Structures are given as C-alpha cells and as structure tokens.
Amino acid sequence: MIFVNSMSDLFHKQVPTSFIDQVFDTMEAADWHVFQVLTKRSSLMRDYLRHRYGATRGPKHIWCGVSVEDAQAKGRIGHLRATPAGVRFLSIEPLIGAVGPVDLTGIDWVIAGGESGPGARPLHLEWAREIRDQCVEQKVAFFFKQWGGIRPKSGGRELDGREWSEFPDRTASAL
C-alpha cells in the first residue's frame, strides 16, 4: 500500500496536469500495489478523474480520498461521491470538530483520528463515536487511526475498548 504524496497534494492547483497524468499512468501500470491519493482539492480531483475515466469507476487498486476535518469541510464529500474513483475514502483526520450527520452513499472507507504533534488539539470522544456509529449504520468500513497527542501513538487506537481496523472490500465498491 502506497500513500501517494503523503506530505503534499497531487491536486494542488500548481501541479501540472502532465505530472498528474504521469503519476496515474504509473499507478495504473503497477496494479499489484494499492495506491492511496488524498486531497483537500476535491473538485479538482473530481474533474481530473471524470476526464480520465469518464462515467466508469477507475481501477480498484487506486483509492482516492478527501480530507474532512470538521463540518465546514463536508462539501468535499459530495465532490468525492461524484468522482469516478475505484475506491473512495474519507480521511476524517485530524478530527478537530464535530462533523455531524454524513451521507456515506458511494463511500467505501472512512479513516478517523486525532491530531498529533506539539499543540495538538484534543479529539473529543463524541466526535469519534459519531463518525464510527454512522459507518456501522451505513455499512462503511471504519478505521480509527489514533487519538493523537504530542506523539501520534500517545493515546493509542482503541475506541470504546476496541481497535477499529476495517478496510474496504476492493471487489465490491459502493455504487
């Protein structure tokens, strides 16, 4: 599993389309790997993938996701839902505020977790539970990454006495 541009954003407006094309050409050719592409520029990713794949979902080994850190970022979910990605995921981390009700139709996976590093803002239990409960109710794979703190593993990974380490079923993506 390869996290593409883990410290940057492939869909930043200053990244040339020709570069994005080369990255996708490479990912498509290396179908023995799973690639995760995460962005905050959800409309740019949607438009790029629509141009590249048309109305069909892209390769199942290329997972495309958007960051949703609080309720103000929920608009990105609609863009993701309209993206013809092979697997669609939400990265709800760092979770810095309540997200509220979320329609997870068309979403294959949700990752949630707290912020880490000096000055990390706290993750409230009710925020994490709210996301987890919606995933369980809507039958979407849920992965709880961390509580966060000064170091990423400071607070552990248990949520209500359990580690949540679900992954999407790559053979049957959501519609």
Give per-residue pLDDT as tens, 30-66.
Answer: 999 999 999 999 999 999 999 999 989 999 999 999 9
SS3 state at 113: strand
pLDDT tier, 165 (very low <50, low <70, confident <90, very high otherwise): very high
Whether the predicted pLDDT of 133 surpasses 90: yes
SS3 state at 50: helix
CB 45 within 8 A of CB 66: yes
Domain boundaries of the chain, sorted by first residue: 2-163
- Tell me what pLDDT residue 174 has: 45
Considering the entire predicted model, what is its pTM?
A: 0.93
- Tell me what pLDDT residue 170 has: 66
Helix axes 42-53, 17-29, angle to 10 degrees: 60
Whether the predicted pLDDT of 134 surpasses 80: yes
**Average model confidence (pLDDT) for the chain?**
93
